[in-house]
A and B are shown apart, each in its own frame.
Chain A
Amino acid sequence: MTSVIDQDQEKILKIRGLRVHFYTFEGVVKALDGITFDVFKGESLGLVGETGCGKSVTVRSIMRLIEEPGKIVEGEIDYHGKDILTMKDKEVRRIRGKKIAMIFQDPMTFLNPVLRVGDQVSEVFLLHQEIPEAKRSDGKIDKKKLKGLLRTKVTDIFKIVRLPDVEELYDRYPHELSGGMRQRVMIAMAIASNPDIMIADEATTALDVTIQAQILDLLNDLKDELRTTLIFVTHNLGIIANMCDRVIVLYGGQIVEVAETVELFQKSIHPYTRGLLKAIPLIHRPKRELDAISGVVPNLVTPPEGCRFHPRCYMAAENPEIKERLCVKERPDPYEYFPGHFVACHVRRLERVDEDAGLKPETVYEKIETQ
């Protein structure tokens, strides 16, 4: 199911130097610190990292949904040659929901409790689709007819996301539905206007495991049917493994590693990614100690200088000289370690440089345990 992405493929989104700050009582939280990546058309891209690493902030900035006290300080998000960040509000609204749609994490809190679910879905049609059938001969809109048309459209889309009893469902309120049904309603909302890009922001985290599998199945199928691009935000590496072609690993508001899924799982390079993978409990292995990464997530009000990971990095600890010289001072830039595989790590970059020079090749590649 995974395939190597052709580098010449069309880039649907180009994100350059994205920087987002949150101005809180405690101080300025530098939630995103210069994020740069591309999204290719038709791929499914995974964003992974711990809570608070900036995954959700990244995808929300794509739709310009950063709320007070947050602010996009810097950066560029290129969508079809236009920068979303400098667009007028009106243009952004035309993109939101129509071209780029989002599926949120918690289906309970993300549906408006006082509106019928059908009405909430029909808003998308009303907003983004011309409905010529509802127009009367004099050019005005026949409200009754419009209502009926919307209803059929909504029930149709409900059927696509495999919801049962679609007719009754239309008039239900969110709290009367189960978690899985609510999530399907949200997906229905997202696919209603047939978007170019679908963003699933922790779309399955709040669901239990069987429902999760169903929803993931559904998403996968929909992606193939609708030929959309899928950006999948999660902290669950298992989902990444199953869903995504390519993975971006975030740490403390910075990209640490970008790679194709298989490559990442087989030959991860950044010490943080390795830490993550080692911390996965494996079901077919005998019990063993999980290798937790030592230390705590950095406080983003006063993040560590240089590489944000260096206080917890074992590689930096092993190379005190590099750490003193680079890790604590300079921010590492992503370095194309293998074709299409970027790593932001001073130690690794230096090793690679050494290897290119024919020195110490064995330290470059270290087999890690995967399933």
Chain B
Amino acid sequence: MKYKEYVVKRLILLIPVMFGVSLLSFVLSNAVGDPIASYVGQSDDKISEERMAQLRHQLGLDQPWYVQYSRYLGRLLQGDLGESASYNPPLPVLEVIVIRFPATAELSVFSLIIAILVGIPLGIISAIKKDKVPDHMSRIAALSGVSMPIFWLGLMLQVVLFNVNNVLDNSAIGFQFPYHERWTRNDYPQPTSILFGMVPASGFMLLDSILFLPADFPILDSVNTSFLMFIDVLLHLFPPAFCLSWLQMALFTRMTRMSMLETMRQDYILLAKSKGLTERIIIYRHALRNAIIPTLTVAGLSLAGLLTGTVLTETVFSWPGLGRWAVNAVANLDLAAIQGFVLVAAILYVLSNLGVDLLYGFIDPRIRYD
């Protein structure tokens, strides 16, 4: 009962925050240049003053700001976020988000998985071998991770892959590391499955490549094609995901190490030792379970870092996701797109924070809500 009340309270507290977020994004995007200019297109386009005034009136830009804002809110509630002028012809922002979100989500989720798979074991090793060589190594790795400008890491990664590629190529191994997307999302094949017929593309390339089973081919060939595509997508996904996961990996390592050490200092570990249990059993049965809870819960919090990271990573690797769209939108003075992106980012961020808080309460029943 108390938990439910707590959830409701947290949800109610969200309302003013989301209101403020919409206001802020409205103010910010209206401060970017002249909306008319962006609406018309090229700024050196000559448009008569009357036409400008007419357009202003049409768009309601001659109204006071609060009227404009309330209209904006009204549209927002109907799910109308305007049209992104970065596309030609302009696409509705919501549609762009729907199109581009899978790319970002795929990248983020994949890098989160890498971060968890590498970061947590590293943190555990670090805690177990405290003040020994592995600990120092992983601490240095973690520190360098949180200090790394990831756009730089991305570029350096490309240099390294390029050279590896050249070396392998020259030594006639013939294996090519891909380091750049080969398909753009516009021209990659629609998944057609033998079993299900035409399947709408989900936008998640890993998924689509598995579903892609061209029906005209013999089954073996089509499975083979699908598999090759999957490997190809995976190899293309890996470099940017690795780059993006670097920071998260560092955070997970540090967090796991800290919470492991904290747990190892707990009294029940002492009791376990006094029972005569071996170090192994103590770590894996008694300590790990307790240490992993905060780490996993806070994994949700790292979504903010991922969102920030995607902006830079997608720019460096030309990944067709939300982040690069946002950077382009700012360069192109695409008001609606900026508003849309900022809103989406804020909503994702706030919801993930909320989710983490709620999850924490769910996992650990000892927490009380007063």
Q: Are any A and B Cβ atoms less than 8 Å apart in their complex?
A: yes
Residue in contact with B366 in the complex, picked from A97, A113, A186, CB distance below 8 Å = A113
Residues 269-299 of B, flagged 1 when their CB comes within 8 A of A and 0 if not, give: 0111111111001000110011001000000
Chain B CB within 8 A of A37 CB? no
Contact B276 A112 (CB under 8 A): no
Q: How far is the CA of A95 from the CA of B276 in the complex (A)?
A: 7
CB neighbours of A97 from chain B (8 A): 274-277
Q: How far is the CA of A311 from the CA of B211 in the complex (A)?
A: 83
Contact A112 B273 (CB under 8 A): no
Chain A CB within 8 A of B217 CB? no
Contact A106 B290 (CB under 8 A): no
Given A112-B290, A114-B290, verify A123-B275 contact (CB < 8 Å): yes
Given A67-B265, A113-B290, A115-B286, verify A186-B271 contact (CB < 8 Å): yes
Residues 83-122 of A, flagged 1 when their CB comes within 8 A of B and 0 if not, give: 0000000001111111001101010011111110000000
Q: How far is the CA of A109 from the CA of B272 in the complex (A)?
A: 12
Chain A CB within 8 A of B144 CB? no
Chain A CB within 8 A of B87 CB? no
Q: How far is the CA of A123 from the CA of B293 in the complex (A)?
A: 23
CB neighbours of B285 from chain A (8 A): 115
Name which residue of chain A comes closest to B292, CB basis: A114
CB neighbours of A92 from chain B (8 A): 276
Q: How far is the CA of A101 from the CA of B274 in the complex (A)?
A: 7
Chain B CB within 8 A of A233 CB? no
Residues 233-251 of A, flagged 1 when their CB comes within 8 A of B and 0 if not, give: 0000000000000000000
What DSSP secondary structure best describes chain A's contact surface?
mixed
CB distance from B271 to the nearest CB of A (A): 5
Chain A CB within 8 A of B267 CB? yes
Chain A CB within 8 A of B362 CB? no
Q: How far is the CA of A95 from the CA of B366 in the complex (A)?
A: 34
Residue from B266, B268, B273, B276 whose CB has the most chain A CB atoms within 10 Å: B276
Name which residue of chain A comes closest to B289, CB basis: A114
Chain B CB within 8 A of A48 CB? no
Q: How far is the CA of A140 from the CA of B279 in the complex (A)?
A: 25
Name which residue of chain A comes closest to B269, CB basis: A112
Name which residue of chain B comes closest to A106, CB basis: B267
CB neighbours of A94 from chain B (8 A): 276
Name which residue of chain A comes closest to B363, CB basis: A114
Q: How far is the CA of A111 from the CA of B267 in the complex (A)?
A: 8
Residues 111-153 of A, flagged 1 when their CB comes within 8 A of B and 0 if not, give: 1111100000001100110000000000000000000000000
CB distance from A111 to the nearest CB of B (A): 6
Given A112-B286, A114-B290, verify A104-B276 contact (CB < 8 Å): no
Residues 236-268 of B, flagged 1 when their CB comes within 8 A of A and 0 if not, give: 000000000000000000000000000001111
Given A113-B290, A175-B366, verify A67-B274 contact (CB < 8 Å): no
Q: How far is the CA of A110 from the CA of B271 in the complex (A)?
A: 6
Name which residue of chain A comes closest to B364, CB basis: A113
Contact A65 B274 (CB under 8 A): yes
CB neighbours of A101 from chain B (8 A): 274-275
Contact A127 B270 (CB under 8 A): no
Q: How far is the CA of A92 from the CA of B273 in the complex (A)?
A: 10
CB neighbours of B268 from chain A (8 A): 109-113
Contact A93 B277 (CB under 8 A): yes
In the complex, number of A-B residue pairs with CB atoms less than 8 Å apart: 69
Contact B276 A98 (CB under 8 A): yes
Given A93-B276, A175-B366, verify A110-B270 contact (CB < 8 Å): yes
Chain B CB within 8 A of A15 CB? no
Residues 99-132 of B, flagged 1 when their CB comes within 8 A of A and 0 if not, give: 0000000000000000000000000000000100
Contact B267 A96 (CB under 8 A): no
Residue in contact with A111 in the complex, picked from B130, B271, B273, B274, CB distance below 8 Å = B271
Q: How far is the CA of A105 from the CA of B289 in the complex (A)?
A: 23
Name which residue of chain A comes closest to B281, CB basis: A123
Q: How far is the CA of A109 from the CA of B366 in the complex (A)?
A: 13
Interface residues of B in 339-370 (CB under 8 A from A): 365-366
Chain B CB within 8 A of A189 CB? yes
CB neighbours of B265 from chain A (8 A): 67
Given A67-B265, A110-B268, A114-B289, verify A127-B273 contact (CB < 8 Å): no
Q: How far is the CA of A65 from the CA of B281 in the complex (A)?
A: 16
Name which residue of chain A comes closest to B264, CB basis: A67
CB neighbours of B365 from chain A (8 A): 175
Q: How far is the CA of A109 from the CA of B289 in the complex (A)?
A: 15
Residues 278-306 of A, flagged 1 when their CB comes within 8 A of B and 0 if not, give: 00000000000000000000000000000
Chain B CB within 8 A of A63 CB? yes
Q: How far is the CA of A157 from the CA of B248 in the complex (A)?
A: 47
CB neighbours of A98 from chain B (8 A): 276
CB neighbours of B275 from chain A (8 A): 96-97, 101, 123-124, 127, 189
Residue from A96, A97, A114, A124 whose CB has the most chain B CB atoms within 10 Å: A114
CB neighbours of B277 from chain A (8 A): 93, 97, 123, 127
CB distance from B293 to the nearest CB of A (A): 8
CB distance from B277 to the nearest CB of A (A): 7
CB distance from A55 to the nearest CB of B (A): 15
CB distance from B136 to the nearest CB of A (A): 16
CB distance from B313 to the nearest CB of A (A): 36
Given A112-B290, A113-B290, verify A67-B270 contact (CB < 8 Å): yes
Contact A104 B271 (CB under 8 A): yes
CB neighbours of B278 from chain A (8 A): 93
Name which residue of chain B comes closest to A100, CB basis: B274
Interface residues of A in 31-84 (CB under 8 A from B): 63, 65, 67-68
CB neighbours of A189 from chain B (8 A): 271, 275
CB distance from B24 to the nearest CB of A (A): 42
Give chain A's interface residues, CB within 8 Å of chain B. Answer: 63, 65, 67-68, 92-98, 101-102, 104, 106, 109-115, 123-124, 127-128, 175, 186, 189
Q: Would you give 19 A-B contacts (Cβ < 8 Å), ordered by A?
A: A63-B274, A67-B265, A67-B270, A68-B130, A93-B277, A93-B278, A94-B276, A96-B274, A101-B274, A101-B275, A104-B267, A104-B274, A109-B266, A112-B286, A113-B290, A114-B289, A114-B293, A115-B285, A127-B275
Other contacts beyond A101-B274, A115-B285, A128-B276: 15, CB < 8 A: A65-B273, A93-B277, A93-B278, A96-B274, A97-B274, A101-B275, A109-B268, A110-B267, A110-B271, A112-B272, A114-B289, A114-B290, A115-B286, A123-B272, A189-B271
Give chain B's interface residues, CB within 8 Å of chain A. Answer: 130, 265-268, 270-278, 281, 285-286, 289-290, 293, 365-366
Q: Which 8 residue pairs of A and B lie closest in terms of their CB atoms, listed nearest first? A: A97-B276, A96-B276, A97-B275, A109-B267, A112-B268, A102-B274, A93-B276, A110-B267
